[in-house]
């Protein structure tokens, strides 16, 4: 169930858009922030509050990679493995995350501290390999640097 503050935010979002469907992206973001991921209940609540069909809400939410469709760790690690990052060691870093943290691509650590998402490109080819942890950007990664970075996140 949405908090009263989230319901109010959804109403304000709806007023900024010409129709309810146009408000779906920010509304789904509010739901994800509220629940941590977009569960069937989250889709139903957004659908009901905006007055759009549930299939439309789910279709929009599943189209975009920015929405989570299963519970995730408290911190989302997005590691780029595209060409520049791969050439400069991203695959070795994926192995490091598996071995050091038990963190598989698409998985979550047992303590629910981290989830790992493999990214196609985060636009940092000149300073590869690169990753995001939540909204924080890191570049020129090494195994030691990743370990130092992840110690900051509880």
- pLDDT tens-digit readout, 10-53: 999 999 999 999 999 999 999 999 988 999 999 999 999 999 99
Binding residues: 80, 85, 121, 125
**Per-residue model confidence as pLDDT tens digits over 107-130:** 999 999 999 999 989 999 999 999
* pTM for this entry: 0.70
CATH 3.30.70 fits 4-63, yes or no: no
Predicted confidence (pLDDT) at residue 65 exceeds the cutoff of 80: no
Topology adopted by domain 75-150: Glutaredoxin (3.40.30)
Give the span between the Cα atoms of 89 and 125, in whole angstroms: 12
Residue 54, pLDDT > 80, answer yes
C-alpha to C-alpha distances, 93 to 22, 103, 144, nearest whole angstrom:
39, 11, 10
- Annotated binding-site residue numbers for [2Fe-2S] cluster: 80, 85, 121, 125
Domain segments of the chain: what residues? 4-63, 75-150
Supply the pLDDT for residue 66: 80
Q: Is the pLDDT of residue 62 over 80?
A: yes
Give the other-Cβ count within 10 Å of 148's Cβ. Answer: 11
Pairing verdict, β 131-133 and 136-138:
antiparallel
Query: CB–CB of 94/106 below 8 Å?
Result: no
């Amino acid at each position: 169930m949405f908090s009263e503050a989230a319901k109010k935010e959804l109403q304000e979002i709806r007023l900024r858009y010409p129709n309810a469907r146009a408000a779906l992206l920010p509304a789904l973001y509010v739901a994800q922030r509220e629940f941590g991921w977009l569960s069937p209940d989250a889709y139903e609540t957004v659908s009901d509050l905006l007055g759009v069909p549930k299939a439309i809400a789910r279709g929009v939410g599943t189209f975009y990679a920015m929405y989570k469709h299963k519970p995730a760790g408290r911190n989302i690690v997005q590691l780029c493995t595209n060409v520049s990052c791969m050439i400069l060691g991203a695959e070795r870093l994926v192995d490091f995350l598996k071995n050091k943290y038990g963190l598989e691509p698409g998985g979550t650590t047992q303590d629910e501290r981290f989830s790992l998402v493999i990214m196609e490109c985060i636009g940092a080819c000149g300073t590869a390999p690169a990753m995001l942890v939540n909204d924080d950007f890191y570049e020129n990664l090494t195994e030691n640097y990743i370990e130092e970075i992840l110690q900051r996140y509880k």
